Amino acid sequence: MNILITGGSGFLGSEITNLLSKNNNIYIYDINKNKNKNKKTIFYVRGNINNINNISKCIKKYNIDTLFHLAAAIGVKKTEENPSNVIKINVEGTLNLLNSIKGSNIKRIIFASSSEIYGEGNNKKVVEADQPKPKSIYAHSKIIGEQFFKMYAKLHNIEYKIVRFFNVCGKGQKNDFVISKFANFINHNKDLTIYGNGNQIRSFCHVKDAANGFVKVLIKGHKNETYNIGNNSEPISMKNLAKKMINISKKKIKIKKIRFELSDRSATREIYYRVPELKKIKNHTNYIPKINLNSIIAEFFKK
């Protein structure tokens, strides 16, 4: 396959690129240069997804037949602070990308969505058929992106797949995300902060498992389907995550509770339980995440 990956230089995009580059030509379309040293099957094209002409030229020049759309403005806090940027990148950028592939040889498109679209899980694992209950601008933008992909695929008779990622993490991730943020604080001997009572439940998935799930959906996933990708084997509260990370680090770090008003969300917009149901992806692709939480955390403290 000749695969174009928007956002392919990112944390998750780089892992997906590594997995697929052995048997496919990968063209990374990103504003940031990819650090991968495999120059035989991985090619970098600098570009912005809002530039329709540039994307179109790239797709035709390299005879792209498969498109992965990972490029996005991410992070609840950052997107809430700059909603116009979310609209420009996640909404207008996605529509521009789809418009740029008209008349091309692209046969399949995959959209990287987010578990954020589900909103509150209400103490149950969320399934793909659950009604979205978004609580952030970022979540709304991902729902719109999903609808754009479905609409375009139907109009142009192209195969689509949508993947919703749940709390992907691993060493090398930006410090905006909870495990990498906690690890950074611990490594700098700073107190950890949790919001409210710290009982918010999450379930974390290593980036290698997430990338493997993505590739399995590409190869074995059913046409025009939506899949959760994550690891639901070890749901954990934020206060227990903080304790676990401190124990594994073998440092003496304090945990402080702070008001929701000082967090990324207010108390009414917080998501208290978010864990994926993975029966569908397991049944269709045999996807099973392998890296446990202790191993994920230990990566951050290896010297």
Task: Say if residue 33's pLDDT is above 80.
Answer: no
Per-residue pLDDT for 61 more than 70? yes
Is beta strand 25-30 parallel, antiparallel or unpaired with respect to 42-46? parallel
Please give the pLDDT value at position 239: 96
Place of tokens 């906690």: 182
50 domain residue, yes or no: yes
Residue 34 belongs to what domain range? 2-168+204-229
Structural domain includes residue 281: no
Report, in angstroms and rounded to the nearest whole number, the Rg of the chain calculated over CA atoms: 19
Q: Residue 32: what pLDDT?
A: 82
User: What pLDDT, on a 0 to 100 scale, did the predictor assign at position 235?
Assistant: 97
248 in the same domain as 155 = no
Q: What percent of the chain has pLDDT over 70?
A: 94
Q: Tell me the pLDDT band of 77, cut-offs 50, 70 and 90.
A: low
In terms of pTM, does the model score above 0.75? yes
Tell whether 157 and 197 lie within a shared domain: no
Shared-domain flag, residues 127 and 237: no
218 by DSSP, 3-state: which? helix
Q: Is 101 inside a domain boundary? A: yes
For residue 125, the SS3 value is coil
Cβ-contact 157, 213 below 8 angstroms: no
Percent helix, percent strand, percent coil in the chain, to nearest 5:
40, 20, 40
- The region that residue 61 occupies, defined by phi over 0 for left and psi between -120 and 50 for alpha, beta otherwise, is alpha
Task: For residue 131, tell me if it sits in a domain.
Answer: yes
Say what the pLDDT of residue 208 is: 98
Residue 105 and residue 191 share a domain: no
CATH number for the domain including 145?
Answer: 3.40.50.720
Residues 71 and 211 in one domain: yes
Q: Does the structure show a pLDDT above 90 at 176?
A: no
Sort residue 122 into left (φ over 0), alpha (ψ -120 to 50) or beta. Answer: left
Q: Cα angle at 113 between 76 and 5, to 5 degrees?
A: 110
* pLDDT score, position 74: 78
20 and 89 together in one domain: yes
Residue of 119 and 38 predicted with greater confidence: 119
> Does 132 score more than 90 pLDDT?
yes
Long-range contacts of 219-222 (CB under 8 A, 24+ apart): 219/285, 220/284, 220/285, 220/286, 221/161, 221/281, 221/284, 221/285, 222/284
In a domain, residue 82? The reply is yes
Residue 226 has pLDDT above 90, yes or no: yes
Give the domain-ending residue among 191, 212, 229: 229
pLDDT, tens digit (0-9, with 9 covering 90-100), for 181-210: 999 999 999 999 998 899 999 999 999 999
Say if 280 falls within a structural domain. no
The token duo for 230 is 């994550």
Residue 294 located in a structural domain = yes
Q: Are residues 155 and 179 in the same domain?
A: no
List 236's β-bridge partners, or say none: 202
Domain count within the chain: 2
Answer whether residue 63 shows pLDDT above 80: yes
Does residue 253 share a domain with residue 151?
Answer: no
> Are 114 and 184 in a shared domain?
no
More confident residue, 32 or 63: 63
Q: Is the pLDDT of residue 95 over 70?
A: yes
137 and 86 share a domain?
A: yes
Joined tokens for residue 157 = 């008779």
- Whether 237 is in a domain gets the answer yes
Q: Say what the pLDDT of residue 266 is.
A: 62
Question: Which structure tokens are listed for 109?
Answer: 């498109």
Mean pLDDT of 138-158: 95
CATH of the domain at 178: 3.90.25.10
Q: What is the pLDDT of residue 287?
A: 98
pLDDT at 22: 87
161 and 177 co-located in one domain: no
Q: b/e string for 16-34 if b means 16 or more Cβ within 10 A?
A: bbebbbeebbbbbbbeeeb
Q: What is the pLDDT of residue 40?
A: 86
Convert the pLDDT of each residue in 240-271 to its tens digit: 999 999 999 999 999 999 877 666 666 667 88
Domain identity same for 103 and 29? yes
Task: pLDDT band for 38, please (50, 70, 90 cuts).
Answer: low
